[in-house]
Amino acid sequence: MADTKEVVDYSLNNPDTLTKYKTAGTISEKVLAEVSKLVVPGEKIVDICAKGDKLLADEVNKVFAKTKFKGFAHPTTVSPAAFVTPYTPLSSDEAEANVTIQAGEPIKIQLGAQVDGFGTIVCGTVLAQEKGKESEEVSGREADLFLATHYANELLLRLLLPPGTLSAGTDEEKAKAAKEKSPTQSKITSLLEKVVKSYDCNLVESTTSWLFGRNEIEDKKKIVLAPSEGTRGDGIPEIGEVWGVEIGVSQGTGKVKKFENRATLHRLANENGIAKRPSSKKLMHDVKTKFHKFPFSLRQLESERDAKLGAMECTRNGFLREYEVVGDKENAPVARLLTTVAITKNGITKLGGPPALDLSKFKSDKKITDEEVLKILEQPLAKNKGKKVNKKKKKPAKKAAKKDGEESEDESDDE
């Protein structure tokens, strides 16, 4: 009798899948919070990246002891001011290793954990402030940038929901809502532009959200915001999918250019590639063993020198893909957020993401006035599950401002 190999369901229909995503998300959020505390003027970016990787590795080692493949879905990267893409310098590159955090810069921190190939990546932007000044009010153009990014992110998350997902009313009304078409990618860009332009900012060119899969963070679907010439998105979000949702906002025009910094972030492009040099062979072996198809930094390898040599051959032959360092064309400050979400029949479940913005800290003389946008922002991300609450003990926040009230909706999102 022939052996029958058990087919494992890796979709969200399997509760274990969601548990692994959420576990990775909890770790990613915890490490993001700790790394954010390290963003202090004068600190070296390379040191922050190394400390973040150590924290993430330690946390991953505490969970799913029997799971063989777990670790990084994305290394710790720290991108200053005008940098758009994740930046992770090498200690062996003297000039870049000495780059430090500057006061007043928006610093983008991106990292992610994975358990059994289910990766949850997060990115948050923090304003570099001297110790003791973290609670001070932020105003002017800095506030404009953070508020534009926050509300654009909230809008984008809501636009991912398939039509009719949160519909109430009769079966006929629900069916009618479900027949509505999802917004096109050009419509999504148009709505988001209304948000960021309200704060005199612009979307970062070709900011991309990807469909996630097991061992894959760039699957068959993608949403491209403000696409550059020759670039386009593909597909629409559907129930049962996991997405890495990214928003990028610039104080400038949003156009980007390649920076001169070394590309140190790579990912496996062809696992069947046969390298020739000893350094290249070792690099390919380490990548397949430790990272598989997830991004990694040359900084994470045993020898940066050997990794740099090996990466040259492997990239040239298409075995590895390098992530070029890209930044704002005008060197204008940029903010980015990345949230990993599951789209379920009950709405959006945040598996991992940046912390909620303290809206009371950011003061701007600008605001969103577009009625279509405001109406969408008022919508919840998920259905209210109607959990029983002891009303006598509940203390409603009656004094909450209208905009702050929008944030309370997000806390209830679940599968």
pLDDT higher than 50, residue 402: no
Q: Higher model confidence: residue 4 or residue 83?
A: 83
pLDDT, residue 177, reads 78
Residues 81-94 have a mean pLDDT of 97
Query: Strand pairing of 138-139 and 362-363?
Result: parallel
- The yes-or-no verdict on residue 174 having pLDDT over 90 is no
Query: Distance between the two ends of the chain, CA-based, in angstroms?
Result: 41
C-alpha distance from residue 312 to each of 50, 96, 259, 291 (Å): 23, 19, 18, 18
Is the predicted pLDDT of residue 389 greater than 70, yes or no? no
- Judged against a pLDDT cut of 90, whether residue 13 lies above it is answered with yes
- Check whether 179 has a pLDDT greater than 70: yes
- 176 or 406, which is more confident? 176
Q: Are 351 and 22 in contact (CB under 8 A)?
A: yes
Which residue pairs, CB below 8 angstroms and at least 24 apart, start in 315-320? 315/266, 317/273, 317/275, 318/269, 318/270, 318/273, 319/268, 319/269, 319/270, 319/273, 319/275, 319/280, 319/284, 320/266, 320/267, 320/268, 320/269, 320/283, 320/287
Give me the mean pLDDT over the 352-370 stretch: 97
Task: Give the per-residue pLDDT at 387.
Answer: 53
Question: Do residues 116 and 67 make contact, with C-beta atoms less than 8 angstroms apart?
Answer: yes
Residue 78: strand pairing partners:
109
Segment 143-147 shows an average pLDDT of 99
- Distance in angstroms (rounded) separating the CA atoms of residues 298 and 262: 11
What was the pLDDT predicted at 153? 99
For residue 197, pLDDT beyond 60: yes
With a cut of 50, say whether residue 399 has pLDDT above it. no
User: Quick check: 392 pLDDT over 90?
Assistant: no
Q: How many whole angstroms separate alpha carbon 53 and alpha carbon 67?
A: 20
Strands 202-203 and 241-250: antiparallel
| Alpha carbon distance 178, 185 (integer Å) | 19
* Residue 110 pLDDT class (50, 70, 90 cuts): very high
CB 44 within 8 A of CB 51: no
CA–CA–CA angle 163, 169, 171 (5° rounding):
75
Of 133-137, 210-214, 363-367, 403-407, the least confident: 403-407
pLDDT digits (tens, 9 = 90+) for 279-336: 999 999 999 999 999 999 999 999 999 999 999 999 999 999 999 999 999 999 999 9
The confidence score (pLDDT) of residue 7 equals 87
- Average pLDDT of the chain is 92
CA distance 341 to 288: 26
Domains and CATH numbers, the chain: 15-260+331-410 (3.90.230.10), 264-323 (1.10.10.10)
Tokens representing 8 are 């494992």
Lowest mean pLDDT among 147-156, 162-171, 273-282, 335-344: 162-171
> Are 378 and 406 in contact, with CB atoms under 8 Å apart?
yes
d(CA 199, CA 185): 22
**Buried b / exposed e along 134-152 (16+ C-beta atoms within 10 A):** eeeebeeebbbbbbbbbbb
Q: What is the pLDDT of residue 394?
A: 42
- Alpha-carbon span 80 to 331, nearest angstrom: 11
Residue 401 banded pLDDT, cuts 50, 70, 90 = very low
- Closest listed residue to residue 247, CA positions, set 319, 171, 148: 148
Q: Is the pLDDT of residue 4 over 80?
A: no
Answer yes or no: are the C-beta atoms of 88 and 297 closer than 8 Å.
yes
Would you state the pLDDT for residue 178? 77
Q: What is the pLDDT of residue 340?
A: 99
Judge whether residue 180 has pLDDT over 90. no
Q: Calculate what percentage of the chain has a pLDDT beyond 70.
A: 92
**What is the predicted pLDDT for the residue at 255?**
98
Is the per-residue pLDDT at 268 higher than 90? Answer: yes
Residue whose entry in the numeric block shows the structure tokens 């505490």: 62
Residue pLDDT, tens place only, 202-236:
999 999 999 999 999 999 999 999 999 989 999 99
